[in-house]
Copies of this chain bind each other. A is one copy, B any other.
């Protein structure tokens, strides 16, 4: 599943397991630091992610309270309707 954007979706999925610093996220999703940073900002703007400073790192975490339920409903839709992939 990758709604509109692969990078943003990868970030969200990475943070689903645990909070991570930017460097960690960059390693995980395998794209440029600035690309990731821009997406982190976009995702934070609409409160999909939270940030907290920790030394010189910034730890991003998923707003699980509201976002996980969204992911689950979407995943259910995809499983039911487009199991062979779909560009939702």
Residue positions of A touching B, CB distance < 8 A: 4, 45-48, 63, 65-67, 69-70, 72-74, 76-77, 80-82, 86-88
Copies of this chain assembled into the complex: 2
**Are A70 and B67 interface neighbours, CB within 8 A?**
no
Q: Is the interface of A mostly helix, strand, loop or mixed?
A: helix
**Are B4 and A47 interface neighbours, CB within 8 A?**
no
A53 CB to closest chain B CB, in angstroms? 21
Chain B's closest residue to A74 (CB) is B70
List 4 A-B pairs, minimum CB-CB distance, nearest first: A47-B81, A66-B77, A69-B73, A70-B73
**Are B67 and A77 interface neighbours, CB within 8 A?**
yes
**Are A66 and B46 interface neighbours, CB within 8 A?**
no
